[in-house]
Amino acid sequence: MASSLLASSSKRALVRRGPSFAKSLLASRPATTQSSDALYVPGGPVYKGTVNDPTSFPEPSRAHGSHHWSFERLLSASLIPLTGAAFATSPSVHPVLDGILGVSLIVHSHIGFDSMLVDYLHPRKFPVLGRIATWTLRTATVGVLVGVYNFNTNDIGLTELISKVWHA
């Protein structure tokens, strides 16, 4: 008796509240959390969505995952024989080897710098500074590639330079 009364009254309440209730449910998905008075602190915690939203993960991708990883290792490993060969041979006789070593060193350096930026200045935490740093690195790497190309074509090449400076 009492329970049926309760059920009927709550049902009535729900019906009466219906449209506004549905509206508030829809409105409970704000687009951003940046409407907040709590200012974003660079390097501080990362807030994504509302408090009840689960953590989102990036789409799994082999290009960003295993292939990228294998490429990095292969490049790092190939630098060992490349450096040894550059030590052993004369760069004026093997300019291609000098060129491959130069490009490999630049790509290896770029990956290293980029992983530092990803670790310490990620755009997720530093939306402005992180992006500036990433694009500065990319620009610098292009400039370095051109610079090394110029040096290896118009001058004596990196290996010969190191050898000459070492015995200067």
Partner 1 sequence: MMSTRALGLGSPLRKTLFSPSLARNPSLIRTTFAKRAVQTESLPPSAAVDILNKQRLLRPSSPHFTIYQPQITWIASIANRVTGGALSALLYGFSLAYLFAPGTFDSVHVVEFVGTLPDTVKYAGKALLAAPFAFHGLNGIRHLSWDMGKFMSMKSVYLTGYAVLGGTAISTVALPFL
Q: Name which of 47 and 126 has its Cβ closer to partner 1.
A: 47
Q: Name which of 59 and 74 has its Cβ closer to partner 1.
A: 74
Q: Name which of 100 and 156 has its Cβ closer to partner 1.
A: 156
CB 161 to partner 1: min, Å: 5
Compute the CA torsion angle 157, 146, 150, 101 (nearest 10 deg): 20
Binding site for partner 1 (CB under 8 A): 1-2, 24, 27-30, 33, 35-38, 41, 44-45, 47, 50-52, 73, 76-77, 79-80, 83, 105-106, 108-109, 112-113, 116, 140-141, 143-144, 146-148, 150-151, 154-156, 160-161, 164-166, 168
- 120 assigned binding-site residue: yes
If you ran DSSP here, which 8-state letter would residue 36 be given? -
The structure tokens listed for 84 are 């040894």
How many CA within 13 A on the CB side of residue 105? Answer: 17
Are 42 and 125 a contacting pair, CB within 8 Å? yes
Q: Name which of 59 and 119 has its Cβ closer to partner 1.
A: 119
Beta-carbon contacts of 33 under 8 Å, excluding residues fewer than 6 positions away, are: 47, 48, 49, 50
If you ran DSSP here, which 8-state letter would residue 10 be given? H
CB 65 to partner 1: min, Å: 14
Which residues define the annotated binding site for a ubiquinone? 120
Which residues define the annotated binding site? 108, 120
